[in-house]
Amino acid sequence: MPSGTPEPEHPFVVLGVSGGIAAYKTVELVRRLRDQDYHVAVVVTAAGEQFVSPLALGTLASEPVVRELFVPEGGPIPHTRLGRRADIVVVAPATADVLGRYAAGLANDVLTATLLATSAPVLVCPAMHQEMWEHPAVQENIATLRRRGVHVLEPENGALAGGDAGAGRLPEIPTIVDEVATILGGHARALMGRRILVTAGGTREAIDPVRVLTNRSSGRQGHALAEVAARWGAHVTLVTASELPVRDHAGRIEVVRVASAASMREAVLDHLDESDALVMAAAVSDFTLSAAPTKLKRRDGVPELHLEPTADILAEAVAGRHAGQVIVGFAAESSDALANAREKLRNKHVDLLVLNDVSRPGAGFDVATNEVVLLDASGEEALSQRSKDEVAQAILARVASLLSRGDA
């Protein structure tokens, strides 16, 4: 049976198999994923074992099949090991039961525990009878998972168990494999060997030793950009004002933690020359102030805060760019969003501008999804609401294309 720890160059795919008749197709799915040079670890539920043999799955997978939530004392905890190690978790087939438990945040078997223990992208491939798929409870669970950034590959129309036909059939295996490749960035590794500089998070300007002037940016989109770029083969420097953890199983992300706009500027300029591209996703404070040396007291009355503009890091980067370097700017707007973004594109002279209208539900700060418009000299492309991982893929696909043109 294949075993061992994968090399960093091989994406780690966790395949969850639950208890539907379509589970028998996962033997072929494991083989196809292995053909893509992925490391495949399989998690199978007790119900899934009624439809497909763990021996068959394990013979083709990269390591022994995980079947139990509990392990002997002192052994590695399966769901945390797999959740942390995964570059993507795929659930195929995803039954109504698994979708419901995942949406509810339950972890009563090894598959749902793994789903809750990972920050990797998750792809669910529902398969069930049409009546079950169309039930309001199932559709509400799907909507909940989508809002949380889960990728959903909807079932196809076709023959179902028991001689029925309709919507509910597991998507064809090549379709699932293609979707996995799209989420992972493809086996070709579009940014292999490139050096990408990414900024993330909202900077903080000290008012006194206790208080800060900041914004609502969580850093999720910037961190997603760094993580996707690393999955696509880039060496990434992530300059972040966020405390979010960074998933970097391949060891390709250098994390530089900063706080203020000035410290972010210093870090960006330190790494700019060595970078093929700068993706300026951070929400940098527009204003700073001279911090009081001690905590301001209420008893002393309302303080006067004298704000001063911070340095324009993006403008400095554009002015100091080297030949062939790609620079991406971001515009977080809450009114007249498109008009303001068009003006920023004209003024900043960046290769690509990403407009984020933070007033739109599901597209603002500290949520798992985003909805953006990509603007460049050739036009505008609106991306519907999707996970921040998927938004990062769309942005970095543009970056890869721009870099390739520069090489031509």
Catalytic residue among 108, 141, 157, 215: 215
- What are the DSSP E strand ranges found in 281-368? 287-288, 308-309, 326-333, 352-357
Beta bridge partners of 331: 355
Listed residue (66, 121, 123, 129) closest to 96, CA to CA: 129
Neighbours of 293 (CB within 10 A): 7
Position of tokens 């250098």?
A: 254
340 is an active site residue: no
Angstrom distance (rounded) from CA 14 to CA 94: 14
What is the Rg, in whole angstroms, of the alpha carbon atoms belonging to the chain?
A: 23
DSSP letter assigned to residue 274: T
Burial class (CB in 10 A: 0-12, 13-18, 19+), 34: middle
> How big is the chain, counted in residues?
408
CA distance 69 to 67: 7
Q: Which of 32, 78, 27 lies closest to 57, judged by CA?
A: 27
Q: Which residues are part of the catalytic machinery?
A: 215
